[in-house]
Structure 1
């Protein structure tokens, strides 16, 4: 019998090389072709059963166990499209190359003992997390079929989780973008009575949104992040385009925030006699803590890093489409581990960097959490 934890320690060089190779393969959402091929080839060579899907590059890899019930790890593959040194390019500034490295490496370590597995173990490699669309697509394609337990992992900034520490859950909030167009009536600025200024309607809308107050005690916010209208100083434009960024600690708070915002949009349109069309985009749900899944993550972190390096939880103002897995499957035991890795200056910064040694203990934690989950009755 091979101890996966010891095996991973001995594979340090290969794990770091895998990371460097995936880092160079950075591809934006829905275009992860080479990244997917790289991962699938590694897993196929190790004897995994690979399942691909039409229309995207997401896939699953399985180790068959004695039971049909599935325990699973998830990784995201896409990079962020952003400007780096004056050039817009795909850049792994959110750490998805690290996540794929750790899940792949944990899978290869666990494959050494595949005949001893009680449950079937599935490794989910999903596309398009940066667009908050990949998890939903994998759900639609059946990637969660028979899954009882699901675990993910995410690099954390140094100010959230210190190096050589890890948290059993990342408490992401919910986020959404409210995008719309206000249609007024164009006219010459010298004859404003002949037009209907959509920029003035936007000003009223912004003030009304700023005054939203909810009964919920959890944190929430709504703020204007984009406003575009007008091309000339002496013309009243026909259209003005806007975006509001919405954040909430809990899903029900986000639901109420969206209801208030939509009501204000409709009221503003009636008051200003403009036409306002809008849509909710880039929505991600908040994390919902699952105590059973968190207990397994705690045990894995405790075993690998020691009790003194177990953080209680990671509170993050960001968002993650991982939480669609539980939103659409409320009975699923799932958690996302927050991995301390001395990440600076921050996630999504074009020059994001972290201590690569975290890849080794992050892989060990993932392997251990699956070993623990395999001993449970689901």
Structure 2
């Protein structure tokens, strides 16, 4: 293994050990910025969050960019609740960082300015929005990303030119009834019974696309002999498309109003943690496919990766309709799965990911991107 390969793995190990939660990526950001400054980059950082970007100068002000996420999950690992890199963001930052380092070392002059974006708070679906508000997408014509994929989605040694994530939103419901002693239920309006009615009624919601609508939390009551005043519920709602999610939301709102009227309770709804679905951009996907083949081989090119998960990368295209973008799905033998506290993968795949990203930049640099793209 060469010195550069050793450095790449050491970078991953350093980032893996830092593991900071969403919005608190201070040490992770400092480490990445320090490595880039040492390579001659000027860092554009921001006061309101730990995201940043660096630019490699090209012949025009038009920008082609790569994005990495920096945050870790907070989850229980061996009985201890702590930040843990079980979604691979440490690997993503490693690959994008080393793509930037390789470009700086090459000394080559691209036609476009090349931007490397390191964003916070992907897990809370806040980071992409923060980076856009801070101007990180100014003049960007093409945006690429990469994500480690479970073995059942993309096999080790292969890479998909696009990940088709679905849309997701979280619904938090508070049902307020009337409390009473359990021996006198006639004086109460039981919010737990209303919660059961709501779960049953939501089974009538349906759209003509793959989707899911499921309760994930239910909390109510503190005593065995008391009918409580409130019940709190959480629903995870997903669809393969943004239109499908909007249909689910509209139908769910109608059901909530119906149950509220039928039960005589007050039901307050809060819609949070929205992430849009991926919208496939054929031009960007073709560039990514060429990059996989050139960096590896025809045999390494996998089909589009359809994922049941969500990813805030897609906010960039959701709010910038003309932006050409794609996220590569990197096969790496990942098991037992993303977000599993014991998630592990073949670290040598990080070299493959770096090589594909580097090649994808040069493929994108050959395109005469239309003016006016955000």
| 1:141 match | 134
| 1:305 match | 296
Distance 1:122 1:309 in 2: 27
| 2:110 match | 117
Distance 1:221 1:25 in 2: 35
Moved more, 269-278 or 179-188: 269-278
| 1:80 match | 73
Unaligned segments of structure 2, at least 5 residues:
370-374
Task: Using the TM superposition, give the Cα deviation of residue 63 of structure 1 relative to its aligned residue in structure 2, in angstroms.
Answer: 0.6
Task: Using the TM superposition, give the Cα deviation of residue 114 of structure 1 relative to its aligned residue in structure 2, in angstroms.
Answer: 4.4
Deviations 1:244-301 (A, max 9, x none): 1101000000011011111111121111111111111111111100001001100000
Task: Using the TM superposition, give the Cα deviation of residue 206 of structure 1 relative to its aligned residue in structure 2, in angstroms.
Answer: 0.4
| 1:71 match | 64
Correspondences of 1:354-369 after superposition (within 5 Å): 354-369=345-360
Distance 1:94 1:284 in 2: 16
Structure 1 position 370 matched with structure 2 position 361: yes
Distance 1:300 1:349 in 2: 30
| 2:156 match | 163
Distance 1:311 1:9 in 2: 28
Structure 1 position 21 matched with structure 2 position 14: yes
Unaligned segments of structure 1, at least 5 residues:
1-7
Task: Using the TM superposition, give the Cα deviation of residue 9 of structure 1 relative to its aligned residue in structure 2, in angstroms.
Answer: 6.9
Contact 1:9 / 1:360 at 8 angstroms: preserved in 2?
Answer: no
Task: Using the TM superposition, give the Cα deviation of residue 115 of structure 1 relative to its aligned residue in structure 2, in angstroms.
Answer: 4.7
Name the TM-score, length of structure 1 as normaliser: 0.96
Correspondences of 1:202-351 after superposition (within 5 Å): 202-214=195-207, 216=208, 218-351=209-342
Deviations 1:1-57 (A, max 9, x none): xxxxxxx97611110111111111110000000000000011111111210111110
| 2:190 match | 197
Distance 1:148 1:32 in 2: 27
Contact 1:178 / 1:245 at 8 angstroms: preserved in 2?
Answer: yes
Task: Using the TM superposition, give the Cα deviation of residue 113 of structure 1 relative to its aligned residue in structure 2, in angstroms.
Answer: 3.6
Distance 2:72 2:206 in 1: 36
Distance 1:9 1:245 in 2: 46
Structure 1 position 129 matched with structure 2 position 122: yes
SS at match of 2:62: strand
| 2:176 match | 183
| 2:372 match | none
Task: Using the TM superposition, give the Cα deviation of residue 210 of structure 1 relative to its aligned residue in structure 2, in angstroms.
Answer: 1.4
SS at match of 1:271: helix
| 1:174 match | 167
Runs of 4+ in 1 over 6 A off after TM superposition: none
SS at match of 2:66: strand
Distance 2:177 2:145 in 1: 47
Deviations 1:45-87 (A, max 9, x none): 1111210111110001111111010000000000000111111
Root mean square deviation, CA, Å:
1.1
| 1:5 match | none
Distance 2:336 2:131 in 1: 31
SS at match of 1:23: helix
How many aligned positions are there? Answer: 369
Moved more, 72-81 or 269-278: 269-278
Deviations 1:180-220 (A, max 9, x none): 10000000111111111111111110011112122x2x201
Distance 2:327 2:368 in 1: 21
Distance 2:244 2:293 in 1: 34
Deviations 1:320-355 (A, max 9, x none): 000000000010000000000000111001111000
